[in-house]
């Protein structure tokens, strides 16, 4: 990402007044992308005398540890109302649910990891504990997670856990499986509130030649679907059908009068990519006609950065409110055996931007190239 221009700043103050410069500046990035970056200014001029002063600032670029957390696929970060960031993701053995929390994104890397639940010895919830998400709804904590059965490890279904106290220390109760219409392979459920309605979007296998489609429904409570369950999207483009026909890992975002759902597609090796759906925020989200699928993937493997198979993302914001993409990717392309059991899908975080009111993700693991300097003209009258 190359920052190619920055909007100039002019500030007028009366003699003796305090100068207040903005803490962030608007910049343009190559390919017509716009963004805001924090800026650090030097010592400001004395306003006891009139005159004009030109100063240069320094752009503040947040470089998060790379990776943020190793061997945690399907990463999910929640910035909660209590002021903490919470992290969860798939544990490599797929046998437990883990949580971390910290006051900052970077702090999650070294934060103590708590195992808040372990897989059962047998029966349901005993295998493939996949892709947990943490949500805070109506004063309680919920984890949505997929799990299989030792007697049938691919009998994967979405389950919900509830906690009324401290999510890292107190007991989690199993509320049960979500009541999807189909008793078939189902995973990656996410939930979100939009205009006072709670929705669920999840991946479901309903046809022999398709691993998973995405469905959407309204919820009666965090573990119960009410009403119609609607097919939202199924694999149709080549990039959604590389290795396997897959739409999975949905993540919700709302900006600029639109709602967005990212999702992941294809096999979980270097062909894994992110796709994008969007709709008007006032549209009927249960009407498939309300949604448009972007015909090309929005994040793919990059030879330049050496990151492969980016996907199963979530969204959060920085401490300053800038948008962040949370996702996993591997640092190599070649994999021995089933890629699902390769542990090195690491959790990563990077800023994303907006272009024509659509999210712009760039490349996984991109570096920011600052080719310009923020400048301010201060006029003391």
Half-sphere exposure of 288 (CA within 13 A, CB side): 10
- Kindly list the strands in the beta sheet with 323-330, ordered across the sheet, starting from the edge strand earlier in the chain: 308-317, 323-330, 346-351
Of residues 306, 248, 212, 254, the one with CA closest to residue 90:
248
Beta strands of 213-306 (E only): which ranges? 213-221, 224-233, 247-255, 258-265, 273-280, 292-293
DSSP 152-199: EEEEEEEEEEEESS-TTTS--EEEEE---S--S-EEEEEEEEETTEEE
β-pair partners for 377: 10, 54
User: What are the angstrom distances between the C-alpha of 90 and each of 11, 35, 114, 368?
Assistant: 50, 32, 13, 29
Q: Are 158 and 187 in contact (CB under 8 A)?
A: yes
Residue with token string 């103590």: 112
Task: Select from 347, 344, 322 the least CA-distant residue to 333.
Answer: 344
Q: Is 227 exposed, middle or buried (0-12, 13-18, 19+ CB in 10 A)?
A: exposed
C-alpha–C-alpha distance, residues 77 and 89, integer Å: 9
Torsion of Cα atoms, 145 then 148 then 154 then 160, to 10°: -30
Q: Which residues are catalytic?
A: 74, 248
Give ∠ CA 173-314-258 in degrees, rounded to 5.
115
**Residue positions counted in the chain:** 381
- Which structure tokens are listed for 118? 């372990």
Question: How far is the C-alpha of 94 from the C-alpha of 115, rounded, in Å?
Answer: 12
Rounded Cα gap, residues 310 and 170, in angstroms? 33
């Amino acid at each position: 990402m190359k920052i190619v221009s920055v909007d100039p700043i002019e500030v007028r103050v009366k003699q003796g007044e305090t100068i207040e410069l903005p803490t962030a500046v608007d910049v343009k990035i190559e390919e017509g992308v716009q963004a805001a970056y924090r800026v650090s200014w030097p010592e400001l001029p004395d306003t006891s005398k009139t005159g004009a002063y030109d100063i240069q600032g320094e752009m503040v670029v947040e470089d998060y540890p790379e990776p943020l957390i190793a061997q945690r696929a399907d990463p999910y970060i929640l910035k909660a109302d209590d002021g903490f960031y919470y992290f969860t993701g798939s544990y490599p053995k797929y046998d437990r649910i883990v949580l971390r929390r910290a006051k900052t994104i970077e702090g999650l890397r070294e934060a103590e990891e708590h195992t808040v639940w372990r897989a059962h010895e047998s029966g349901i919830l005993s295998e493939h504990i996949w892709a947990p998400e943490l949500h805070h709804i109506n004063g309680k904590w919920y984890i949505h997670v997929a799990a299989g059965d030792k007697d049938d490890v691919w009998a994967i279904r979405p389950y919900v856990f509830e906690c009324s106290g401290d999510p890292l220390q107190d007991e989690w109760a199993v509320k049960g499986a979500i009541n999807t219409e189909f008793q078939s392979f189902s995973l990656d459920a996410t939930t979100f509130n939009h205009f006072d309605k709670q929705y669920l979007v999840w991946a479901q296998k309903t046809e022999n030649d398709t691993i998973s489609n995405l469905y959407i429904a309204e919820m009666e409570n965090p573990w119960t679907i009410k009403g119609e369950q609607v097919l939202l999207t199924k694999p149709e483009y080549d990039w959604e059908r590389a290795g396997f026909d897959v739409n999975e890992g949905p993540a919700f975002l709302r900006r600029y009068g639109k709602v967005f759902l990212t999702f992941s597609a294809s096999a979980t090796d270097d062909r894994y990519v992110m796709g994008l759906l969007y709709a008007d925020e006032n549209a009927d989200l249960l009407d498939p006609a309300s949604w448009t699928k972007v015909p090309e993937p929005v994040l793919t493997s990059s030879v330049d950065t050496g990151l492969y198979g980016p996907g199963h993302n979530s969204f959060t914001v920085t401490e300053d409110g800038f948008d962040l993409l949370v996702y996993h990717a591997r640092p190599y392309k070649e994999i021995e055996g089933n890629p699902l059991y390769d542990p090195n899908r690491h959790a990563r975080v990077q800023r994303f931007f907006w272009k024509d009111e659509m999210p712009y993700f760039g490349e996984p693991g991109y570096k920011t190239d600052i080719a310009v300097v923020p400048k301010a003209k201060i006029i003391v009258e």
